[in-house]
Amino acid sequence: MSKVVTGASMSLDGFIAGPGETGFEHLFAWYQSGDVPIASTHPEIPFNLTPSDAAYLQAWLDGVGVYIVGKRLFTLTDGWGGVHPADKPIVVVTHTVPEQWIAEHPEAPFTFVTGGVKEAVDVARGIAGEKMVGVSGGDVARQCLDQGLIEEIWVDIVPVLLGGGVPLLGELADAPVLLEDPEIVAGTRVTHLKYRVR
């Protein structure tokens, strides 16, 4: 069965977005810190990385078969116009299905789930096959963690302090949650840490 993993670029002080949805130019600076290109479906979101960061990101992109995202990220990006930058199918956890958006994006490989994160993970596993299910950080990842569904946390720690904003996970139902020591990959404008949940 496919592994369920959450990952995010996070400031050293623990935020995946700054106050008022700011700070992304810092959180994702490592996507443009070198000259190794990685394919993107969106030319306005180029990936040009250092060799070690490119290898790390490519392994993530190759490993993930489907992403689960929450309504916040879906709304913030307008569903990436129906095509995720990494060209993956997407499962959106939401309370209401955006019928108009679906009508406007008939080809989009997006599935909208209203039954909560457990249903979303079941649906995503069906899509992922042997690959990983990637859960975006924030509320949805926290709900998955609270239900014991997250097996690994891949955090890209960015050398910036944002001072507030959207936390990686937020208030947990069953804190503390112990993790194993991470695999570490030093990057440029980022430090990659891969943790297994105990």
Closest approach of its own copies to the CB of residue 198, in Å: 8
C-beta closer to its own copies: residue 35 or 119: 35
Provide the binding-site residues for its own copies, judged by CB under 8 A.
11-15, 18-19, 22-23, 26, 145, 153, 155, 157, 159-164, 167-172, 175-182, 184, 186-191, 193, 195
Q: Pairing state of beta strands 191-196 and 183-186?
A: antiparallel
Find out whether the peptide bond into 176 is cis, omega within 30 degrees of 0.
Answer: yes
C-beta closer to its own copies: residue 18 or 79: 18
Closest approach of its own copies to the CB of residue 151, in Å: 14
d(CA 77, CA 84): 10
Q: Which residues contact 125 (CB under 8 A, 6 or more apart)?
A: 1, 2, 4, 133
Handedness of CA 67, 86, 77, 158 (dihedral sign): positive
Closest approach of its own copies to the CB of residue 36, in Å: 18
Closest approach of its own copies to the CB of residue 4, in Å: 16
